[in-house]
Structure 1
Amino acid sequence: MKYAEWRRKAAEPGRVPEFEGIDEAGAAAQIDRLLTAQEVGGHGVTLAPAEAQSLLGRYGIPVRPAFAAPDPDSAVRAAARLGYPVALKATAPHLRHRPDLGGVRLDLAGEEQLRAAYAELTETLGKPAETLPVVQSMVPRGVDTVVRAAIDPGVGAVLSFGLAGAPAELLGDTAHRLVPATDRDVSEQIRSIRTAPLLFGWRGSTPVDSRALEELLLRVSRLVDDHPEITAVALEPVVVAPHGLAVLDATVRLAPPPARTDLGPRRLPAY
């Protein structure tokens, strides 16, 4: 049975779909400008949030804006710009992935709630300069996931997917596929993790929008395949709702592409 399944998959490898709204030339120009303008060491450079959002946006990957709130008045102005309800988050590196510390306040419906949450967060976790609060619009409830891509010295660009949070990290519950990924690759990828039932209606919950998730993975794959200067992309968290998804934070790293010693194509030829 396993051999038959392998033969079937080999005969139907899937395809790399084309998407509208991809500005490959604009992304290349932006990457060239960023690498030229900055002194880039051997480990590359991490883009500022605005530059990362702009680059991802050229491939149809919108990132929800988050506005810095160094004081309560700044938080209120940001919320007025976004519209209530909003979320208040501590984004300092030592707090970013520690939900157990209470660095996130959700569904703040008005100025009074926002100011109270701000005071509570900074009194509990530290001054604004230590916690780096930001204000972000609320998104529909869903399943928190993580989408990453990185260069592996042995095999090239690798696309990774898993659920967000400590349980998935402790279990190593992450699925990987080589870039460029096909539609079949990403469909199997999101279904191959052990926690996949949480995406598809576990214990009567509403299934999430798996098609939107697959499209996001394919767009990230296309981005890193088109631009070898992109050495790492991390979208975390990606909240996948019953209809659509939202990327709440993104990190992108660039570095000059290594010199190629081979003379062949980047992809295996199709037979």
Structure 2
Amino acid sequence: PGAEAPGGAVAGPAVDMRRIPAYPAAERAVRAMAEAVRYAQWRRQAAEPGKVPEYDDIDEAGAAAQIERLLGQEADTRGFTLSTPDAHELLARYGVAVRTALPASDPDSAAEAAARLGYPVALKTTAPHLRHRADLGGVRLDLADEHQLRQAYHELTETLGKAAELQPVVQAMVPRGVDTVVRAAIDPAAGSVLSFGLAGAPSELLGDTAHRLVPATDRDAAELIRSIRTAPLLFGWRGSAPVDTAALEELLLRVSRLVDDHPEVVSVALEPVVVAPHGLSVLDASVRLAPPPARTDLGPRRLPSY
């Protein structure tokens, strides 16, 4: 029926303000429905964000004193990368243990390092231009005795160059697992961001890295390791043994606490982190300090929920 206009005249049919979406193809309708479902899931998660766990073994005061001392010794206000001992000490204050790697400037020092660490060992180059070039053969694993170690050292220097250029180290072997990367850094727009992905060229080329804002909750950590496309490798893909994701989540939460407690820690990189069926091993780490950037906005940063 028509609506009555002023003066008694009958206007056209009443306008129904409700709208029914129409799509030119079924695929677009399905994509729209999927986005609506994802948004509903995000809203439910926002209502239950999880919690930031407490750890009794964290030495927050000791870390603050160490950071203040190191910043006071450095004249460069743009920031600097910590030495290996300082980085390991700072991470240890937050319960993150990094495996010892001993320098091996020649075959004799390599043999001495292996004797201290115990066989089997790995011989690795640490020069920046070779550190992530596994294709060049800069890593020799499962060296069971001194003879194998010396032979590997000779092959390494014969193939890649002088020891002074390669900066080789000896490290005790750890249980096999999945190589991963844990990072945290300050983003100018978002603040501190925690990142996770698998180590290696495929993940780097595909950009298969997940991110969460700091401080990360237990739910964030669980979602972080499950949101990358290569996550099935962590959960028993094609019959392989599932790895210790609980230990990995705890590591992520401890790194998140470190950068949240101390804004002077502007970046952390743990690479690789070998996650085995039981436990994990952090094989290398770098930490960068700088005076914290000024923030004009206050309060937590989060996406709007409209």
Q: For this structure pair, what is the TM-score category when the shorter chain's length is used for normalisation?
A: over 0.9
Q: 1:5 deviation in Å?
A: 1.6
- Identify the residue that residue 196 of structure 2 maps to in structure 1: 161
1:39 Cα offset (Å): 1.5
The equivalent position to 1:25 in structure 2, one of 26, 40, 61, is 61
1:151 is aligned to 186
Aligned to 1:197: 232
- Counterpart CA distance in 1 for 2:111 and 2:127 is 20
Matches within 5 A, 1:172-191: 172-191=207-226
Q: Structure 1 residue 267: deviation in Å?
A: 6.6
Shift of 1:65: 0.6
**Bigger Cα Rg:** 2
Work out the CA distance in 1 between the residues paired with 2:235 and 2:130. Answer: 30
2:75 alignment partner AA: E
Which among 112, 116, 135 is matched to residue 147 of structure 2? 112
Shift of 1:265: 4.0
C-alpha distance after superposition, 1:99-146 (max 9, x if no partner):
000000001111111111111101111111010000000000000000
Deviation at 1:12, TM superposition (A): 1.2
Aligned position for 2:29: none
Separation in structure 1 between the aligned mates of residue 177 and residue 82 of structure 2, nearest angstrom? 28
Q: 1:14 aligns with which of 46, 50, 59?
A: 50
CA displacement at 1:258 relative to structure 2: 2.5
TM-score, structure 1 as length reference: 0.96
Per the alignment, residue 282 of structure 2 pairs with 247
Q: 2:125 aligns with which of 79, 90, 94?
A: 90
- Of 32-41 and 220-229, deviating more is 32-41
Q: Report if the CA contact (8 A) 2:243-2:277 is conserved.
A: yes
C-alpha contact 2:77 2:291 (8 A) present in aligned 1: no
Deviating above 6 A after TM superposition, structure 1's stretches of 4 or more consecutive aligned residues are none
Give the 3-state SS of the residue equivalent to 1:63 in structure 2: coil
Amino acid at match of 1:7: R
Instruction: Please tell me the residue identity of whatever aligns with 1:98.
Output: R
What is the DSSP-based 3-state SS (H/G/I as helix, E as strand, rest coil) of the residue aligned with 2:195?
strand
Q: Which residue of 2 aligns with 1:237?
A: 272
Point out where structure 1 has 5 or more consecutive residues left out of the alignment: none
The one-letter code sitting in structure 1 at the alignment partner of 2:244 is D
> CA shift at 1:3, angstroms?
4.0
Counterparts of 2:46 and 2:266, CA distance in 1: 29
| Deviation of 1:40 (Å) | 2.1
Instruction: For structure 2, list consecutive stretches of 5 or more residues without a partner in the other structure.
Output: 1-36
Instruction: In structure 1, give the amino acid aligned to 2:97.
Output: P
Between the aligned partners of 1:60 and 1:40, the Cα distance in structure 2 is 29
Matched, 1:222 2:257: yes
What letter matches 1:214 in structure 2? Answer: E
TM-score with structure 2 setting the length: 0.85
Q: Does the residue aligned with 1:232 lie in a helix, a strand or coil?
A: strand
Which residue identity does 1:77 align to in structure 2?
A: E
Show the counterpart of 1:37: 73
Task: Give the % identical residues.
Answer: 77
Greater alpha carbon shift after TM alignment, 95-104 vs 13-22: 13-22
1:25-73 CA distances to partner (integer Å, 9 max, x unpaired)?
Answer: 000000000000122232x100000100000000000000100000111
Q: Is the 8 A contact 2:122 2:139 kept in 1?
A: yes
- The amino acid of 1:239's aligned partner reads V
Q: SS at 1:9's partner residue?
A: helix
Q: Are 1:124 and 2:132 an aligned pair? A: no
Q: Distance in 2 between matches of 1:70 and 1:3?
A: 56
Question: Which residue pairs with 2:248 in the alignment?
Answer: 213
- Contact 2:190 2:301 survives alignment (8 Å): no
1:266 to partner: Cα distance: 5.2
Partner of 1:50: 85
Q: Which residue identity is paired with 1:233?
A: V
Contact 2:141–2:173 at 8 Å: present in 1 too? Answer: yes
Q: CA deviation at 1:259?
A: 3.4
CA shift in 2, pair 1:63/1:127, >3 Å? same
Name the SS of the counterpart of 2:85 in structure 1. helix
Secondary structure at the counterpart of residue 184 of structure 2: strand
